């Protein structure tokens, strides 16, 4: 079968198409004929080598979520899964391939009317956004700022905050055009990457919740924008690591009782994740949530997909199609 591997750590060009034997499902696993493969920010970070110290090596096949049809089941797996369309989490690799294995507890059946590309646009991003807002103790009526709102998680955080009754949903993004797309999904205020209002329009002076997928050197300034009892939740470092001394901003605002937290869906029980995921899949079919699929590319154009992400061209998620 065809797969895409990281030949060496570096830019998008290091992604190479290879031919390898199809994997066999082990005990408790299934084999999936992939129909769509999500291209996520974590794939980019792994490819760059930024987290090679966590055990990633050249030859790694990236990709953590796929949608497709179960074609084989391993020992101990109910054969009723055979032939079912599913979304699956494959771990931190293995997804960029024509066939992929996944543990049976990582499967969620797909509604008949949900496309594979929509499934991988929603599957991880929507769940992370949901539980990140819960981690921030978001309540109806509160103001929310989403940094890096045009990515997969950001798009979902905007929709879920608006759907949850936020008093205001501000977003940082790279262009007015993206801002208008985010407004259509529930954003009330569009800011540039530095947090300034686009076009000089009024924006909230502060926020109850900041959902940050960017981090980077500008992150501490957004701590300063929190209201008393405000909470920032950091989900990613797509803009690089924050300054080592960012905690000074929390201490400087100690009389405001500010909170800073990181969040990973790894801390959420699988059953809870899958319940939210299934509900979001249904909501998408019913038109209550929008699966922001930027576009699709053939599997062998994974390098092009990563190049588009690096260039800041992607709104939502890209999907690879075997």
pLDDT digits (tens, 9 = 90+) for 78-104: 999 999 999 999 998 999 999 999 999
pLDDT band per the 50, 70, 90 thresholds, residue 200: low
Least confident of 145-149, 168-172, 194-198, 207-211: 194-198
Q: In whole angstroms, what is the distance from residue 84 CA to residue 98 CA?
A: 17
DSSP 8-state code for residue 96: S
Q: Which residues contact 255 (CB under 8 A, 6 or more apart)?
A: none
Q: Does 39 have pLDDT greater than 60? A: yes
Q: Does 197 have pLDDT greater than 80? A: no
Q: In whole angstroms, what is the distance from residue 246 CA to residue 240 CA?
A: 13
Q: Residue 65's beta-bridge partner residues?
A: 89
Strand (E) or helix (H) holding 311: none
pLDDT band per the 50, 70, 90 thresholds, residue 285: very high
- What global pTM score does this model have? 0.93
Q: In whole angstroms, what is the distance from residue 198 CA to residue 189 CA?
A: 8
As a whole number, the mean pLDDT across the chain is 94
CB 179 within 8 A of CB 171: yes
CB 61 within 8 A of CB 5: yes
Q: Does 127 have pLDDT greater than 60? A: yes
Find the length of the chain: 322
pLDDT band per the 50, 70, 90 thresholds, residue 199: low
Q: Does 301 have pLDDT greater than 90? A: yes
Q: Which residues contact 200 (CB under 8 A, 6 or more apart)?
A: none
Q: In whole angstroms, what is the distance from residue 131 CA to residue 137 CA?
A: 10
Q: In whole angstroms, what is the distance from residue 6 CA to residue 2 CA?
A: 14
Output the furthest CA–CA distance in the chain (Å, rounded). Answer: 61
pLDDT band per the 50, 70, 90 thresholds, residue 31: very high
């Amino acid at each position: 079968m065809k797969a895409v591997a990281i030949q060496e750590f570096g830019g998008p060009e290091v992604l190479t198409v290879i031919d390898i034997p199809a994997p066999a499902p082990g005990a408790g696993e299934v084999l999936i004929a992939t129909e769509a493969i999500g291209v996520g920010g974590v794939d980019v970070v792994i490819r760059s080598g930024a987290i090679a110290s966590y055990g990633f090596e050249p030859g790694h096949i990236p990709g953590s979520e796929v949608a497709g049809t179960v074609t084989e089941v391993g020992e101990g797996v109910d054969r009723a899964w055979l032939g079912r369309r599913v979304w699956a989490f494959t771990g931190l690799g293995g997804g960029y391939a024509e066939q992929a294995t996944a543990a049976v507890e990582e499967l969620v059946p797909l509604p008949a009317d949900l496309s594979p590309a929509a499934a991988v646009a929603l599957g991880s991003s929507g769940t992370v956004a949901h539980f990140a807002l819960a981690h921030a103790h978001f309540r109806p009526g509160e103001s929310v700022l989403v940094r890096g709102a045009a990515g997969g998680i950001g798009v979902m955080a905007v929709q879920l905050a608006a759907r949850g009754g936020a008093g205001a949903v501000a977003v940082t993004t790279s262009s007015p055009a993206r801002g208008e797309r985010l407004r259509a999904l529930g954003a009330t205020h569009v800011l540039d990457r530095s947090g300034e209002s686009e076009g000089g329009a009024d924006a909230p002076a502060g926020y109850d919740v900041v959902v940050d997928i960017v981090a980077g050197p500008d992150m501490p300034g957004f701590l300063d924008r929190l209201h008393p009892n405000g909470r920032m939740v950091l989900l990613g470092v797509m803009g690089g690591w924050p300054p080592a001394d960012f905690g000074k901003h929390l201490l400087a605002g100690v009389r405001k009782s500010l909170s800073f937290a990181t969040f990973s869906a790894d801390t959420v029980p699988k059953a809870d994740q899958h319940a939210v995921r299934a509900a979001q899949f249904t909501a998408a079919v019913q038109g209550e949530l929008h699966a922001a699929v930027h576009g699709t590319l053939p599997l062998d154009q994974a390098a092009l997909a990563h190049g588009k992400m690096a260039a800041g061209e992607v709104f939502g998620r890209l999907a690879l199609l075997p």
